Amino acid sequence: MGVFSGPLQSLIDELGRLPGIGPKSAQRITFHLLKVAPEDALRLAQSIIAVKERITLCTRCFNVAEGGLCAICLDDRRDITSVCVVEDPRDIVAVEKTGEFAGRYHVLQGALNPIEGIGPDQLRVRELLARLGEEGIAEVILCTNPNLEGEATAMYLARLLKPMGLVVTRIASGLPVGGDLEYADELTLGRALEGRRVIEA
């Protein structure tokens, strides 16, 4: 199908299948790789192989891990009484960057979405329930996305967990720090007003 033949075209085709990379970018990256030192290209190839061979899901929280438990579950300085429930391992990175949370995580691997065939059985809900019994967890923070599917998932989990006598919290929606009120969209500002709190003075 392409103008080039053999390995050149197949690399362009493979790169073009990646998310966010169109045919032109695929071609540019391919020609870049053609020019770089052989060891640089080899390192990239080996990294890809290593990721596929060595990275697994954490047996406890379903974060990405290198066999067995993930780095966070292995860290014995973490607070084991609170668990933060997220949709995707990338969300852990986002929460970790805040430095505000010292507990462990639980990755659902998605959100409720009947159109895509995702119900509670397709999510790691049963595994979460099992952990609650075993690990002495006191608080569950529901940190799913603030969109329709994420909110529905949070509501589903809240209904499931509340009767178990746990503290169940949902992250707040609000305004970006350092921003201007006049640029906030109405929905976000409305939510921020709803979730207002008494100021310390």
**Site residues, another protein (CB under 8 A):** 112-115, 117, 119-121, 148-149, 151-152, 155-156, 159-160, 186-187
Nearer to another protein, 67 or 119 (CB): 119
Residue showing tokens 């084991």: 80
In the complex, the smallest distance separating the C-beta of residue 169 from another protein, rounded to whole angstroms, is 18
Nearer to another protein, 51 or 187 (CB): 187
7, 44, 49 from 12: Cα distances, Å: 9, 15, 18
Strand partners, 107: 86
9, 17, 44 from 6: Cα distances, Å: 6, 17, 20
Residue showing tokens 């921020």: 192
Spatial separation of the C-alpha atoms in residues 62 and 146, rounded to whole Å: 21
Strand partners, 170: 142
In the complex, the smallest distance separating the C-beta of residue 12 from another protein, rounded to whole angstroms, is 23
In the complex, the smallest distance separating the C-beta of residue 98 from another protein, rounded to whole angstroms, is 28
Nearer to another protein, 30 or 153 (CB): 153
Spatial separation of the C-alpha atoms in residues 191 and 145, rounded to whole Å: 14
Spatial separation of the C-alpha atoms in residues 193 and 164, rounded to whole Å: 30
Distance of CA 8 to the CA centre of its chain: 34
**Structure tokens, 101:** 């949370």
Nearer to another protein, 62 or 156 (CB): 156
In the complex, the smallest distance separating the C-beta of residue 105 from another protein, rounded to whole angstroms, is 22
In the complex, the smallest distance separating the C-beta of residue 10 from another protein, rounded to whole angstroms, is 29
Nearer to another protein, 134 or 186 (CB): 186
Distance of CA 64 to the CA centre of its chain: 10
Nearer to another protein, 87 or 149 (CB): 149
In the complex, the smallest distance separating the C-beta of residue 118 from another protein, rounded to whole angstroms, is 10
